[in-house]
Every structure is written in structure tokens, then in C-alpha cells.
Structure 1
């Protein structure tokens, strides 16, 4: 039995859910998101909550049960409060700034890196060494943050690069004479 799947997903005030077949659409103050569940689970909207139940006792049905419930909960969280990833830049001369819809990164290359921000995501740079990625879809927010981080991953000797806030970078000892 899935402990996660058993719990129904509560719909807060101002959020509505509509079901058509295996696709659930959630509307809230920040926007609209939808998710199509597999045929292994059954979705039901009952009052102010959404219930997910498996359609059998097969291993796949039990796997999809908890995953589908988590996906539905992410829809509700996304349209109410949204998702956020914070990145920090470490290194002498490394900085970031927003100009319109383009994130300009100075990362020690011979040129500035211009990162075009995709639709559905908001990127801000409150300080020169901080980047905040926000949006309603957790997959898109995580992918944009990973794409920004890929421009200069933290290296193990000096720790320079772009890292997630609170990320631990294992440091290596340099050469000895």
C-alpha cells in the first residue's frame, strides 16, 4: 500500500479542478496546469479534494499510484504558490544581471554568456551573485536552473562556479611540492 497515494490532495480556496478521462486540469491564481495519468490509476474529484486509486494490485499500478498523486499535488502547489530554485555564483569576477528577457552571465570566459529565459519562467537576479528561478511548473523550473548551472559547474579545487543554494561541493586538495 502506498502511504503517499492513500492521502487525498486538498484543494485550497480559489483553486478548481476538472477531470476529463484520465486528464486532470487545475486552475488557480497563478495559472492553469494539467496532468494525464496512466490507465493504471483512477482519478476522482470529490468536493474540495482529489483522490487517486490504483486499478488493480499489479506492481506497475502501485508504482503509478504514488507518483500520480505526487504529480497532482505538484499541480495544486504550482497554481497556488509556485516553485522556486535559487542559485549562487562563487568566483572572483563572476556575476549575473538581467536585461529584459536575457540573463547576462560573466563567468570568466572571453565573452559574456547570454541566456534566453523561456516562457512560463521568471528569472531574477537580486544580487550580482544570486539567481532566482520561479514558475508554476516544477519540471520547467528545475530544467532552467540546471541549464543555467551547466554554463559553469562548481569545480572541486577552488569551488568556483554556479551552484544551487546550500549545495555542498566536495573540495579536493591541490598538488603538493
Structure 2
């Protein structure tokens, strides 16, 4: 049995969780999230916490046990606190700016790249080189940050490109000259 899946999920005061079968709806101060869990798990509310348990002893049910518990816990944390992902743009002339809600990234190409945020996601730019992606759904926040990073991933020689804040880039030695 999953060690993570065994742990109950505490429900904060301002968060309301409702479930109908395997459909889970979480509502909080930051927004509302819905998700349908796969077959093989059951979800119950015990006092002020939620317990996820496998329905059978089959392998598939045991595999999904910890995953479903983590998905529900991330939904609860997302509507109560929210998620953010920070990116840094490194390189001469590389910058980002907001154009309405859209993010426009100049990363050394002949044209600027415009990123349109999906529903529930917002971008913030500080100092033209620091981009913050924020929202309630952890999965979507991470995917949008990965899409922005994929515009110009950091290269190993000078470290130019778009990287996550705190990401360590392994550097390579350049060419050695003739002697």
C-alpha cells in the first residue's frame, strides 16, 4: 500500500470539497477546480480531512492510490494558496514584457514570441528578465512554465536562454585554441 496514499488530506477552513462518485470539486478563495479520478480508488470525507483508498487489491488500483491522493491534495493547496513558477531570462538583448495578458518574449530570434495564457493562468514580469507564472492548477502552471522555457532553453557554454529560477546549468568548456 502506498505510504503517501495512506495519509489523510487536511481541509483548510475556507475550502469546500464536494465529490459525487469519482468526480471531485474543490472550491476556495483562489478559485475552483474539478477533476474526475480514475476507477480503482474511493474517496471519503472523515471529519475535517479526506481519505483516498484503493477499492481492490489489484495492481492497477494500488498504483493509482498515491497518485489520486496527491492530485486531490494539489487541488486543495491550489485553491487555498495557489502555485507559482519563476523563470529567468539570461542573455544580452533577451527580455520579456506583458502585452495585455499575453507574454511577449524576445529571445534572440528575428521575431518576438507571444505566449497566450490559458484560463486561470497569469503572467508577471519584473526587470524585463524575471517571469512569474501563477495559477491554481499545479499541472497547468508547470506546463506553461515549461512552454516558456522551451522557447530558448539554456545552452551549456555561456548559460544563455530561459531557465527556471534556481536551476543549475552544467557548463562545458569552450574550444581550446592552437598552441
The TM-score normalised by the length of structure 1 is 0.96
Structure 1 vs Structure 2 CA RMSD: 1.0
Partner SS state of residue 152, structure 2: coil
2:160 — aligned with what? 160
Please tell me whether the aligned partners of residues 19 and 45 of structure 1 are also in contact (alpha carbons under 8 angstroms).
no
Which runs of 5 or more residues in structure 2 are unaligned? Answer: none
1:76 matches 2:76? yes
1:25 — aligned with what? 25
Which runs of 5 or more residues in structure 1 are unaligned? Answer: none
Partner SS state of residue 57, structure 1: coil
Work out the number of aligned pairs and report it: 177
Per-residue CA shift, 1:17-43, capped at 9, x if unaligned? 111011111111111112212221111
Partner SS state of residue 13, structure 1: coil
1:145 matches 2:145? yes
How do 1:26-65 and structure 2 match up within 5 A? 26-65=26-65
2:98 — aligned with what? 98
Give the Cα separation in 2 of the matches to 1:79 and 1:35: 13
2:122 — aligned with what? 122
The alpha carbon displacement at 1:59 in A equals 1.7
Partner SS state of residue 5, structure 1: helix
Give the Cα separation in 1 of the matches to 2:166 and 2:73: 25
The TM-score normalised by the length of structure 2 is 0.95
Give the Cα separation in 2 of the matches to 1:57 and 1:142: 33
The alpha carbon displacement at 1:107 in A equals 1.1
